[in-house]
């Protein structure tokens, strides 16, 4: 009798291990796909929020830096106490900034959900000269916000403007 030659190939156990390793790899890719999609969507929302905040801050600083603002209008901007924890829930938007935004920005005056998409607040900066105003913006992608606390996870964008008008007016 002739000795049988050993056949070349894979055993059933090796094939099963290879299938298991491939299944783990493919399943991990399938799990990562929705995560990447969610992060991409969140990145777009963050970019939109920061662009809106930058635009509003630039417009508000331009309005506050205008030489047409009177000292009386400037003094009517609320002051926030130094020990206060209020930021965007306190303060308001002065009339001269709202008027500027309505005159020079069609987006501001035509956006139906503008009050629910962001908050713009102004206050005189405590501890500094009364000539410095702090302007804060926070925005969100949610459509219908009912309370200020729903903005808590979003960054607050901040800028300052200095009074440029005539103190005697």
CA separation for the pair 97, 135 (Å, rounded): 11
Q: Would you give the DSSP letter of residue 142?
A: -
With H, G, I as helix, E, B as strand and everything else as coil, classify residue 81: coil
With H, G, I as helix, E, B as strand and everything else as coil, classify residue 119: strand
Tokens standing for 101?
A: 């935004």
What is the per-residue burial (b if ≥16 Cβ within 10 Å, else e) of 28-67? eeeeeeeeeeeeeeeeeeeeebeebbeebbebbbebbeee
CA separation for the pair 65, 160 (Å, rounded): 10
Residue 13 is predicted with a pLDDT of 93
Residue 149 is predicted with a pLDDT of 54
Residues 6+ apart with CB under 8 A from 150: 140, 142
The residues with which 29 forms a beta bridge, in sequence order, are none
CA separation for the pair 119, 115 (Å, rounded): 7
Q: Tell me: the pLDDT tens digits for 59-115?
A: 888 888 888 888 888 888 887 755 455 544 545 778 888 877 777 666 555 554 445
- Put simply, whether the predicted model's pTM sits higher than 0.85 gets the answer no
Phi, psi of 159 (to 5 degrees): -145, 165
Task: Tell me the CA distances in angstroms from 92 to 79, 110, 123, 125, one per residue in order.
Answer: 10, 20, 7, 13
Tokens standing for 97?
A: 């900034």
Region 125-137: what's the mean pLDDT? 80
Residue 18 is predicted with a pLDDT of 95
Given the structure tokens 């609320």, which residue do they identify? Answer: 78
- Apex 69 CA angle, 67 and 71, nearest 5: 110
Phi, psi of 147 (to 5 degrees): -140, 160
């Amino acid at each position: 009798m002739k000795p049988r030659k050993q056949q070349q190939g894979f055993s059933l156990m090796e094939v099963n291990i290879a299938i298991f390793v491939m299944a783990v790899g493919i399943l991990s890719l399938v799990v990562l796909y929705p995560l990447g999609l969610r992060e991409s969507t969140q990145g777009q929302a963050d970019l939109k929020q920061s662009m809106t905040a930058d635009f509003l801050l630039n417009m508000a600083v331009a309005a506050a830096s205008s030489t047409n603002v009177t000292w009386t209008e400037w003094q009517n901007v609320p002051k926030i106490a130094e020990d206060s924890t209020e930021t965007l829930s306190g303060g308001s938007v002065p009339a001269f900034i709202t008027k500027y935004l309505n005159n020079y920005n069609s987006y501001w005056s035509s956006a139906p959900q503008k009050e629910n998409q962001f908050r713009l607040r102004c206050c005189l900066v405590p501890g500094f000269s009364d000539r410095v105003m702090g302007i804060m913006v926070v925005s969100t992608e949610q459509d219908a916000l009912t309370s200020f606390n729903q903005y808590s996870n979003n960054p607050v964008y901040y800028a300052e403007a200095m009074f440029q008008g005539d103190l005697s007016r």
